[in-house]
Amino acid sequence: MPTACCPHCLLPISEDAAAGYPFQPIRCPSCRLAVAPGRAKLGGDTPSQAVGSGAAAGVLKNAARRADDAATTPQEVADALMFAAGKLATSVLRLRMLDYEYLTRAHTELPTVGTVLATHGSWKRARREVDDAQRAATAD
């Protein structure tokens, strides 16, 4: 089923939407703006495929920075990113922030994108450091 994303903020609303979604006006859970029937952006199996990851990632990053979440340990981030990469059948280095954010809605025990950014400074750096640690751990 295609992912439906908000036409305003581009963040995902539902991951199993049918054509014409939403069927009644709803409020986007991320930006709180109204989404009229049939106005959600549909497509792809993951949020980043549905809207193209560039614009939505920028929106998400700004929202995450505004949320001002506290940092956690690199180990917790590593566990979370490896779990997410496994769930999404990708590698940590290819894990998209948008898809990770969507996963945290179903897995609320995972650190938020804001927490990952606060811990590592950027999504790219978080991915690289987790990948490096993974390689070091499997080297011997």
The residue ranges of DSSP E strands in the chain, in sequence order, are 4-5, 12-14, 26-27, 34-35, 41-42
What's the CA gap between 126 and 121, in Å, rounded? 7
Using the minimum distance from each CB to Zn ion, give the nearer residue, 6 or 92.
6
Residue 64: HSE in the Cβ half-sphere, 13 Å Cα cutoff: 27
Residues 29-68 vs Zn ion: string with x where CB under 5 A?
Answer: -xx-------------------------------------
Size of the site for Zn ion (CB under 5 A): 6
Using the minimum distance from each CB to Zn ion, give the nearer residue, 59 or 85.
59
What's the CA gap between 66 and 6, in Å, rounded? 19
Least distance from C-beta 5 to Zn ion, angstroms?
8
Using the minimum distance from each CB to Zn ion, give the nearer residue, 13 or 88.
13
Binding status of residue 28 toward Zn ion by CB under 5 A: yes
Which position among 6, 60, 95, 130 is part of the footprint of Zn ion (CB under 5 A)?
6
What's the CA gap between 16 and 34, in Å, rounded? 19
Using the minimum distance from each CB to Zn ion, give the nearer residue, 63 or 82.
63
3-state secondary structure of 27: strand
Binding status of residue 9 toward Zn ion by CB under 5 A: yes
Least distance from C-beta 138 to Zn ion, angstroms?
40
3-state secondary structure of 122: coil
What's the CA gap between 113 and 133, in Å, rounded? 20
Please report, as ranges, the residues that interact with Zn ion according to CB under 5 A: 6, 8-9, 28, 30-31
